[in-house]
Amino acid sequence: MIIVTGIYHVPPDQRDRFMRSRREQVKRTRQETGCLEYAFSADAEQAGVVRLIEQWESIADLEAHLRGVRSGPPPPQEVEVASSTFAVFDATPTSMP
C-alpha cells in the first residue's frame, strides 16, 4: 500500500473555502483505480493548516493519478496556498498492537 501525506498552509480565514474548493477533486479521485482513501481535513489546532491523506493499492496507481492531475485542469485556485509539503510511504498493513 502506498500512503501519501500532505500539509497545506492557507490563510486561516480561507480554510473552509479551500476545503470546499477540493470537493470535486475528492469525488473524482476516490473513483480512480487503486484509490483506497483520499481526504482533506482541517487541523484541529492550527486554523491555517489542511492535511491530505491518500492511500493507493500500488505505486503504479498513484503514478496514474498524478499523470491525470498534471494533464487535467488544475483545481480551482480560490484560495492562495502559502506552502505545501508532501511525503510518500510504501507501507505494509499490520494489526494494532
Average pLDDT over the chain, rounded to whole? Answer: 93
**Is 10 part of a structural domain of the chain?**
yes
The average pLDDT across 45-73 equals 93
**Is 97 part of a structural domain of the chain?**
no
The average pLDDT across 42-46 equals 97
Q: What is the CATH number of the domain that holds 28?
A: 3.30.70.100
The average pLDDT across 22-31 equals 94
At 87, the pLDDT band (50, 70, 90 cuts) reads very high
pLDDT over threshold 80, residue 77: no
**Is 95 part of a structural domain of the chain?**
no
User: Could you identify the residue written with the cell 480554510?
Assistant: 15
- Domain count within the chain: 1
